[in-house]
Amino acid sequence: MPYRLSELAARFELERRGDTDPEIAGVGTLAGASGDQLGFLANPRYRSQLADTAAAAIVLGADDAEHCPVSCLIARDPYAAFARIAALFEPRAALQPGIHASASIASDAIVSPDAQVGAFVSIGARSRVEAGAFVGPGCVIGDDCIVGGDSELIARVTLVTRVRLGRRVRVHPGAVLGADGFGLAMQDGHWLKVPQLGGVVVGDDCEIGANTCIDRGAIEDTVLGEDVRLDNLVQIGHNVIVGAHTAMAGCAAVAGSARIGRYCLIGGGTGIVGHIEICDKVLVTAMTLVTHSIQSPGEYSSGTPVQPSRDWRRNAARFKHLDALARKIGALPQAKD
Amino acid sequence: MPYRLSELAARFELERRGDTDPEIAGVGTLAGASGDQLGFLANPRYRSQLADTAAAAIVLGADDAEHCPVSCLIARDPYAAFARIAALFEPRAALQPGIHASASIASDAIVSPDAQVGAFVSIGARSRVEAGAFVGPGCVIGDDCIVGGDSELIARVTLVTRVRLGRRVRVHPGAVLGADGFGLAMQDGHWLKVPQLGGVVVGDDCEIGANTCIDRGAIEDTVLGEDVRLDNLVQIGHNVIVGAHTAMAGCAAVAGSARIGRYCLIGGGTGIVGHIEICDKVLVTAMTLVTHSIQSPGEYSSGTPVQPSRDWRRNAARFKHLDALARKIGALPQAKD
Amino acid sequence: MPYRLSELAARFELERRGDTDPEIAGVGTLAGASGDQLGFLANPRYRSQLADTAAAAIVLGADDAEHCPVSCLIARDPYAAFARIAALFEPRAALQPGIHASASIASDAIVSPDAQVGAFVSIGARSRVEAGAFVGPGCVIGDDCIVGGDSELIARVTLVTRVRLGRRVRVHPGAVLGADGFGLAMQDGHWLKVPQLGGVVVGDDCEIGANTCIDRGAIEDTVLGEDVRLDNLVQIGHNVIVGAHTAMAGCAAVAGSARIGRYCLIGGGTGIVGHIEICDKVLVTAMTLVTHSIQSPGEYSSGTPVQPSRDWRRNAARFKHLDALARKIGALPQAKD
């Protein structure tokens, strides 16, 4: 299990600097690593911790190398390099193909003999679990679903109906994919439920966080492109389309039929209203509400800054009359444009 | 399964226009429908797609009929008409009364012989599942609960304790009804838990979204009137009362003991603080924070508009001093009222 | 089961006033209590209900005693006193030690003979359930977890991996502890997953709400101090540290590596960005976004007040140009400081 630093340098094609070639038995933070661990410096906030690190060696950028008190590996992107090295030290149980005795599987469902299905799993009619897939304990897979090859449903995931996952998709506990979209029409004073006839399509290499919800489409499908990454407690409404490589942080929510581009970064708690389009490479900061389409790449925000509540209350009270204030200023002779 | 357009017109009492009486085998969007499907035009955003539709026929309002390139059905509310027609094409598994062999049911619980209880379901003491109800795989029903006639717990729903669902209630996966309300009192530097002795009452025809939480009351019950519709990831605190026919979009949250009227529409991500009252027919736009009671029907909002972050930062910095700015203006001789 | 008011006064060391010594069979609200129940007055909003209460007796503060139409118990903190009394009337099923026949438990997991494990529970390798603990139906406990003595996982809780709960921890249904943190590095246009090698440590007496998520750390652990109280649908990112006795209301979210102090009160829907520090005794009002560290105890807010949307739209439009407005004012000769 331990690796020489020189082995790591060779395996990950990183330049090694320093006089020692320590044995590395694990990874750690700059502040917490012990003398047989590899630390890393990627976020400049932590640069001041470099001098006192007890780590055996550090992964860092070339600019920081001269200040490194121990041996180091130089990486253009130290965070990515660290991620690849850390994976060597991740304890992972090997897949144990087979179906747990307690699982309840529809007679016309197909489970690959090379897949693993855990305890208390239900699989519905016409669904398919492909080779190398892992369906953890307590998962419920409804009718007409596909779990693509090498995908992992960690535990207690629900695929309701017509959910098709690509390959290497990872879904965390409590996530619900393919529930009814929220489609309602008011008729004679009562809500009428609009049937949700579509499904959910999730591209290869997507990751879906714990307790995240992705509703199935009303007519056509809700679609995640490849390599989309959703954090926990995210809400994706029916018929939303999320472009490849887009990442959304915790508690973000997208209303029905919105389209989000590729390589977008959506901050935590952000809301995106329905039926709008966001182009590629848009970054939205945390807790912003996006109420209209965005046609230019770039960074977008809404809200007001946090303040002591006493100050905030005074300012907030003025906001309620901001238009009147602006009109008053406009009426001043000196203020006219 | 296919229906003539004239059959649909007769069954749903809609006027049919156009020379052809095509066979309809399914439903689709304006842009996506194929030549044997019925499309619809309800949202004016999509009006421009009408000319090029490949659908066999369209449901739309009278005003749009003259621009329709194919046969059509005229509806006062095309969305509601479409919803009713689409239901004809929804594949629904028939209820299969009986209790799955794996289910774990308390000896004094009562399950109607006309109800269906799925795999890995637990049902606690003194609980009752009525005729026509469906309790899907992985549901946990605690003590003293009622699942009313023809209600559906899709899968992995939890009713913790003292939860009484009316008839035709539909609850989506991961929803938790009847967990302890968040009642705490600080005593000698430690939190003291306030017992949550109430329950949850859900009226007929309600729908509860995936991973939505409705806490049970501290003393009296938390109550949803009939036909209340909650989207996914909604939080309803203890002793909240939600009036009949109110709908709340995803990630909305209502704190303890708030009362919400009938026919309200609560936008996604909206927060409603505790112990306030909102009257009937209030619409709250997305991500608004409602901090005081609302006595007049109408539409309410808070927040600021999304902007490029560079512009937003300048404006947000000014907000921190808005009161000072307003005072400065008030001090100008020309600005006095 | 019923208690004389004088017994309650003695047991909880409260002063009793009034001529009668009624028998108390339960607890109720001021407005809803019946003639054999004890009511309470803690929130001044409800003071006007005191005169008409039908309760047998009331718990209240000394200042309200003279207006009380029935016998009363005087408490310095009526809400805390009521909480302790109400606990006498809470129906609680006694722990029934033993393991349900359906449970699936790894051969090297250890379950105390004094613990109760319910139906359809999975417990993974090297995990331990200590004496007096309750693991309710449908829970999934992964590898290397500890459920401390007298802790309660109500139902359908997931502890993914390396989650260590202290004593008397209560976790509500749907909560997911120890899922992968959201760690991603972009490499050659694809996301690279950063291994999440840490765990989650939860102190004694914590409470975790329904469908709340606490991710495990990337390298070191995510940590909750003792007596931390999290409401439903809360999101705690990887490597967050929450100080003892802090409470967070529903839908609050804390991004990775943030540190929150002791005795903080975090309002519902609040967001806290990553890598910042909040000191002890900070109160953050609902739906605030905290974007920088807070070094002084006190109350903090952001956002704008709710208004009728017509007014709000005018003000919000002005916010988009607030900086320009402020510059215009600054340019007025009379407005210069």
> How does pLDDT run across B91-114, given as a tens digit for each residue?
888 999 999 999 999 999 999 999
Write the DSSP string, B229-256.
EE-TT-EE-TT-EE-TT-EE-TT-EE-T
Q: Which of C89, C322, C328, C337 would you mutate first to test chain B, the one with the most B CBs within 10 A?
A: C322
pLDDT given for residue C332 in this prediction: 80
Instruction: Please name the helix (run of DSSP H) or strand (run of DSSP E) that holds residue C318, with its range, or none.
Output: helix C309-319
Of the candidates A86, A232, A325, the beta carbon closest to that of C194 is on A86
| Chain pair A-C, CB pairs under 8 angstroms | 230
pLDDT given for residue B336 in this prediction: 53
C-alpha span between C271 and C286 (Å, rounded): 9
Q: Which two tokens stand for residue A234?
A: 């995210």
Furthest-apart CA pair in chain A: how many Å? Answer: 84
> A247 to each of A38, A44, A114, A175, C182, how far by Cα in Å?
28, 22, 31, 16, 10
Q: What is the mean pLDDT of residues C32-38?
A: 95
Contact predicate B29/A220, CB 8 Å: yes
Q: Minimal Cα–Cα distance from A258 to chain C, Å? A: 23
Contacting chains of C (3 CB pairs or more, <8 Å) are A, B
For residue B274, pLDDT over 80 is answered with: yes
| Chain pair A-B, CB pairs under 8 angstroms | 230
Instruction: Please name the helix (run of DSSP H) or strand (run of DSSP E) that holds residue C187, with its range, or none.
Output: strand C184-187
Which residues of C are marked as active site?
238
C16 has which bridge partners?
C73
C-alpha span between A16 and C119 (Å, rounded): 54
Q: Which of B157, B162, B172, B176 would you mutate first to test chain C, the one with the most C CBs within 10 A?
A: B176
- Measured N-to-C along each axis, helices C322-331 and A322-331 cross at an angle, to the nearest 10 degrees, of 40
For residue C336, pLDDT over 90 is answered with: no
Residue A306: name the closest of C278, C275, B267 by CA. Answer: C278
pTM reported for the whole predicted model = 0.97
pLDDT given for residue A185 in this prediction: 95
Q: What is the mean pLDDT of residues A275-280?
A: 97
Write the DSSP string, B10-75.
HHTT-EEESS---EE-EE--TTT--TTEEEE--SGGGGGGSTT---SEEEE-HHHHTT-SSEEEE-
Show the DSSP H helices in chain A as ranges: 5-12, 62-65, 78-86, 309-319, 322-331
Residue type, B55: A
C-alpha span between A133 and A141 (Å, rounded): 13
Closest chain B residue to C88, measured at CA: B195
- A269/C285 touch (CB, cutoff 8 Å), yes or no: no
Q: Minimal Cα–Cα distance from A194 to chain B, Å? A: 5
Report the C-alpha dihedral over residues A256, A259, A265, A270, rounded to 10 degrees. -30
pLDDT given for residue A248 in this prediction: 98
- Provide ipTM, 2 decimals: 0.96
User: Using one digit for the tens of pLDDT, what is the confidence trace for A294-315?
Assistant: 999 999 999 999 999 999 999 9
For residue B302, pLDDT over 90 is answered with: yes
Closest chain B residue to A182, measured at CA: B231
- Chain A CB contacts of B305 under 8 Å are 291, 302
For residue C2, pLDDT over 80 is answered with: yes
Residue B138: name the closest of A173, A208, A148, C232 by CA. Answer: A173
Average pLDDT over chain A reads 96
Of the candidates B155, B231, B303, the beta carbon closest to that of A182 is on B231
pLDDT given for residue B91 in this prediction: 83
C-alpha span between B180 and B256 (Å, rounded): 12
Closest chain B residue to A297, measured at CA: B308
- Measured N-to-C along each axis, helices C322-331 and C309-319 cross at an angle, to the nearest 10 degrees, of 60
Q: Which of A168, A322, A329 would you mutate first to test chain C, the one with the most C CBs within 10 A?
A: A322
pLDDT given for residue A250 in this prediction: 98
Contact predicate B239/B225, CB 8 Å: no
C-alpha span between C321 and A69 (Å, rounded): 50
For residue A334, pLDDT over 90 is answered with: no
For residue C333, the 8-state DSSP code is G
User: Using one digit for the tens of pLDDT, what is the confidence trace for B237-267?
Assistant: 999 999 999 999 999 999 999 999 999 999 9
Q: Minimal Cα–Cα distance from A296 to chain B, Å? A: 10
∠ CA A275-A281-A284, nearest 5°, is 65
Of the candidates C84, C172, C268, the beta carbon closest to that of B255 is on C268
Q: What is the mean pLDDT of residues A213-227?
A: 97
Give residues with Cβ within 8 angstroms of C223, minimum separation 6: C200, C201, C203, C240, C241, C242
Q: Minimal Cα–Cα distance from B75 to chain A, Å? A: 12
C-alpha span between C280 and C297 (Å, rounded): 6
For residue A248, the 8-state DSSP code is E
For residue A336, pLDDT over 60 is answered with: no
- B289/C269 touch (CB, cutoff 8 Å), yes or no: yes
Q: Minimal Cα–Cα distance from C217 to chain B, Å? A: 24
For residue C337, pLDDT over 70 is answered with: no
pLDDT given for residue C102 in this prediction: 98
Closest chain A residue to B263, measured at CA: A189
- C137/B275 touch (CB, cutoff 8 Å), yes or no: no
